[in-house]
Amino acid sequence: MNTTIPQMKPQDILLLLGIIRLKNDAWTQLPMAVSLGMSQSEVSEAVRRCKFAGLIDMKGKKVMKQAFMDFIEYGIKYVFPQRAGAIVRGVPTTHSAPPLSDIIISKESYVWPYAKGTVRGQSIKPLYSSVPFAALRDAELHALLALVDAVRVGRARERSLALGELKKRIIDGE
């Protein structure tokens, strides 16, 4: 009998955001895995952990949006903390990517390190290794991931703006 308690992993957040961006509970694991740059077994394990945490329904299809939003607002910066690192080439994140880049003017850029990236900035370690790949393939997913990173690493203003935008996209479904 397995008595270990499943612990959340960063790729669980990627999966939940991937489900939310579809706006459809009829998703299947293999196409989701391909779109996120994960293996099917990683998606299956992420679903199991998210069910245990109460972030996805027991069928493993529908994100519990309010619970997930609460986790992002109150827990993500403590569970998956991050600080800006060295200057590298990569894919824009936090306030350097839309939608926050349309609101916040800053001389400093934050990026996920990625060889195919086009922007130089301070490195932010992505939640999961495939995040830059998946973000470049899907603008809506990119926006959601960048907003979550703004909550993880941003100052009070960036966090507030990111949370407002996330609430619109996750809770209100805009």
Q: Is 31 helix (H, G, I), strand (E, B) or coil?
A: helix
pLDDT confidence of residue 5: 83
- Residue 47 CB contacts under 8 Å (≥ 6 apart), including other chains: 15, 29, 56, 60
Dump pLDDT digits (tens) for 22-72: 998 899 999 999 999 999 999 999 999 999 999 999 999 999 999 999 999
Amino acid at 115: A
State both tokens at 118.
Answer: 């086009």
pTM, two decimals, is 0.95
Residue 56 has phi, psi (to 5 degrees) of -145, 150
Q: Is the model's pLDDT at 2 over the cut of 90? A: no
